[in-house]
Structure 1
């Protein structure tokens, strides 16, 4: 029981050290994440399009 009490005490101490981003930092970080998500989606779309077209062409030949 003492270990559990110590654990939650340490959790509370660590939670007090947490700093939250301000509005500007939050919007900037969100923008970066959305940009990377969009670039990744576009890349995967193009790779999928390339592979599906190549595979379709190969299957039509054979």
Structure 2
């Protein structure tokens, strides 16, 4: 059991060494893209919610 555990952590360490991290410019660009998509999605969901709430409210007032 200990041999398998040791092998596992040895392989994890080897894979971690292969990791490449983004430089500052790539990080800032990626963060900007994520924030933009978050903003667009938030506005879209807000408008859809407003539409559904208005429609449901109108239906409930009517009946």
Pairwise CA RMSD: 0.4
Q: How many residues align?
A: 62
Unaligned runs of 5+ in 2: none
Taking structure 1 as the reference length, the TM-score comes to 0.98
Taking structure 2 as the reference length, the TM-score comes to 0.96
Deviation digits for residues 25-55 of structure 1, max 9, x if unmatched? 0000000000000000000000000000000
Unaligned runs of 5+ in 1: none
Matched, 1:37 2:38: yes
User: Could you list the runs of 4 or more consecutive aligned residues of structure 1 that deviate by over 4 angstroms after TM superposition?
Assistant: none
Matched, 1:17 2:18: yes
